[in-house]
Chains A and B, each alone.
Chain A
Amino acid sequence: MKITGAEGLIKSLICEGVDTVFGYPGGQIIAVYDKLYDYQNEINHILVRHEQGAIHAAQGYARSSGKTGVVIVTSGPGATNVVTGLGDALMDSTPLVVITGQVSTAFLGTDAFQETDVVAVTQQLTKWAVQIRRPEDIPGAVARAFYIASSGRPGPVVLDIAKDAQFGLTEWSHEQCRFIRSYNPTPEIPEEDINEIAGILNNAERPLILAGHGITIANAEHSLLEVAEKGNIPVATTLLGRANLPFSHPLHKGMLGMHGNIGPNIATNKADVILALGMRFDDRITGDVSKYAPQAKIIHVDIDPSELNKIVRASKSVHGDAGKLLASILPLMQYRDRKEWLALFDKCDTTEISEVISHELHPDKEEMNMGEVIDVVSEMAPADTICVTDVGQNQMFAARYFRCRSPRSFISSGGLGTMGFGLPAAIGAKIGAEKRPVVLFVGDGGLQMTIQELGTIMTYNVDVKIVLLNNSFLGNVRQWQELFFNARFSQTQMHNPDFVRLASAYGIAGEDVTDRSMLSDAVKRMFEHDGAYLMNVRVDAKDMIFPMIPAGGVVDRILLNPTTKFSI
């Protein structure tokens, strides 16, 4: 029996295991929405308030669940509204299949109403983008899309489906894709490499593991823990890898990079061996590459060969899955004492606690700091809580002070640093992991970039705890202005609405927290409340995120505050 392309699309999505999609209808995708109406029991469609919200929600969904996120939008403005999310998902290796409507084939290239050359626009922001012009091509393209999006280094894929392909009739059958001749997502790691790497680690005096998002994507958190423990090797995590090891595990030495912990950054330039797993030496991590890890033999393992030797030249680069590598070296690992090496981290921690952390968490001033708010929330959050952040100071403070305890519990926009990511991503994260509590830390600037998604929370009763760290400033930019532009606060002060009343208009409970004495009770109420909650916490705009390695600086030249450099 023949069915329409639109129905074929939905049946193919179901074959690929899709039960949730995020989207927004429009003229060139209306046929698909019409068929969705028939499949409401199979597919739960989340109607967002803006397409950017749909794609960030799908990202949050993908990252909390490990599944591929699906987005359905119309042509033209619907498609261009998802562009930011595509860029974000590409940078942060997030599996997405984004379906865009397109004008009928006869109109292609004629500047028809709501025609945008979506493939051209999205080619550089996707792992694969293709236009579909015939209904019979839909199942094959869907199968290929899911295979590409979720395998190897995951990423976003765009399927741009012309209107006549949606309406046209076709025989339908779906077969999952497992092979593409020009693509190898499962490279084998040679036995010699495994032995060699284990040998290098076992002989290392001062080894350091850098654990990136690749560990999360590979679901290899446990292997990481085992290798670290068996070899007694300290681990530093990247921003997106924060939940790779429990925060308080004795071998988890903290975060790398610009606002990371002192220990890992100092250790980077003292280590004799660095094992970099599923991370890409972002400039926010390396600073000045020419002075990065000068003593270390660097072993770099990544599933994306174009990341190898891209920024940092490795002594040994391995094209492969970081999780597989960990599992293979585990039996070969030998315990070594490394007392002196591990003591370095304690020494750095002591300074960081006394010079930075204690001031942040226990300030002797009236105003609250972001860090202390996050600390209290973290203290009261259940163990499996997922921490979602927006971008800015709130993000860096959350990465530093929220204590992730279980895998996939830190979701943030890393590579692109997209303000407005947080709220929709938190919605998606909750929908992707319904049993886990979700807390969002967000600034007053970023919240207003996608604040319309409060409507989505209202409609679907999404239980997201929103901690608004409200400094009435674009805090991160303010900090740079203060440090590097003579405190000329050009266009960073925010004139804000009454957020609690705004939330209340959407039926979302909340409260203002203006004083430290109110904080812990408010956090308690937030967690006890059944449903979404918005806590609008007034924090000090003058608070700055430290330690800091200024952009392009050297990783072991760390500022403890605007005027003091760390010295060991």
Chain B
Amino acid sequence: MENKELFTVSVFSENTVGLLSQVALIYTRRCINIESISASTCSIPGVHKWTITSWSTRPVMEKLVLQIEKCIDVLKAFLYTDSDIFYQEVALYKVDTDLLLDEPHLEEIIRKYNARILDINRGFTVIEKTGHNSETTALFDELKRYNLRQFVRSGRVTITKSEREFVSEYIEKQNKRKNDTLQGQ
């Protein structure tokens, strides 16, 4: 077996009902677990961007991306590995305030991890950290000492390192096609 890598798929789609399950089933069919997923509007009006991460191999992922693009309401889907993109995740940690206040190196930890304290009350404290998975995991390991009550990490958000904006180019090309088609009648 080839070694698996972490892949990020960026999907740009129309905002239609039912598309999520359709895309999810494309992963399911090949028995690929979705590690994380996030979706939101993007800079192009009406277009939604989803970011999906999963462990797999390149040949499989290349085919999967084409099958995602085959969904009618998907504009484009792109396959990335970590070196192609800037990416971030947000993690939140809920720890016991008592234990935290007793910690002599608290400032050091917060600084070292570039974390933020969102809220402190008598019972618990909520800490937020943005970063790569390895970084939020490192802080997770650190905070275990303070009775880590809850931990949650968002899906990944990404921005490409490329100079070109392929989705905008695609939409421009399609608009040209639209004019040609409609004029050609």
Determine whether the beta carbon of A178 is less than 8 Å from that of B185. Answer: yes
Residue A1, interface by CB 8 Å: no
Residue A181, interface by CB 8 Å: yes
A183 to B178, CA, bound (A): 11
A367 to B171, CA, bound (A): 65
Determine whether the beta carbon of A309 is less than 8 Å from that of B62. Answer: yes
Determine whether the beta carbon of A310 is less than 8 Å from that of B63. Answer: yes
**Interface hit among A28-36, A55-63, A118-126:** A118-126
On chain B, the residues within 8 Å of A308 by CB distance are 66
Determine whether the beta carbon of A179 is less than 8 Å from that of B181. Answer: yes
Determine whether the beta carbon of B25 is less than 8 Å from that of A127. Answer: no
A120, closest chain B residue (CB): B21
Nearest CB in chain B: distance from A9 CB, A: 20
* A184 in contact with B177 given A178-B185, A310-B63 (CB within 8 Å): yes
Determine whether the beta carbon of A182 is less than 8 Å from that of B13. Answer: yes
A119 to B22, CA, bound (A): 10
Nearest CB in chain B: distance from A27 CB, A: 24
A130 to B69, CA, bound (A): 18
Where chain A touches its partner, the secondary structure class is: mixed
Where chain B touches its partner, the secondary structure class is: helix
On chain B, the residues within 8 Å of A305 by CB distance are 66, 69-70
B18, closest chain A residue (CB): A119
Interface positions of A from 131 to 163, Cβ below 8 Å from B = 131, 148
Q: Which of B18, B66, B75, B185 contacts A306 (CB 8 A)?
A: B66
A73 to B180, CA, bound (A): 37
* A182 in contact with B73 given A124-B25, A309-B62 (CB within 8 Å): yes
A129 to B17, CA, bound (A): 11
Residue A480, interface by CB 8 Å: no
A130 to B17, CA, bound (A): 9
Q: Which of B29, B67, B72, B174 contacts A128 (CB 8 A)?
A: B72
Determine whether the beta carbon of A182 is less than 8 Å from that of B178. Answer: no
A183, closest chain B residue (CB): B72
On chain A, the residues within 8 Å of B25 by CB distance are 123-124
* A181 in contact with B14 given A124-B25, A128-B72, A309-B62 (CB within 8 Å): yes
On chain B, the residues within 8 Å of A309 by CB distance are 62-63
Determine whether the beta carbon of A178 is less than 8 Å from that of B181. Answer: yes
On chain A, the residues within 8 Å of B95 by CB distance are none
A183 to B177, CA, bound (A): 11
* A180 in contact with B177 given A123-B22, A305-B66 (CB within 8 Å): no
A418 to B174, CA, bound (A): 38
A-B contact pairs, 11 of them (CB 8 A): A119-B18, A120-B21, A124-B22, A181-B14, A181-B178, A182-B13, A182-B73, A182-B174, A184-B177, A304-B70, A305-B70
A residues near B (Cβ < 8 Å) are 119-120, 123-124, 127-131, 148, 178-184, 304-306, 308-310
* A-B residue pairs, 6 tightest by C-beta: A306-B66, A182-B75, A179-B178, A128-B72, A306-B67, A123-B22
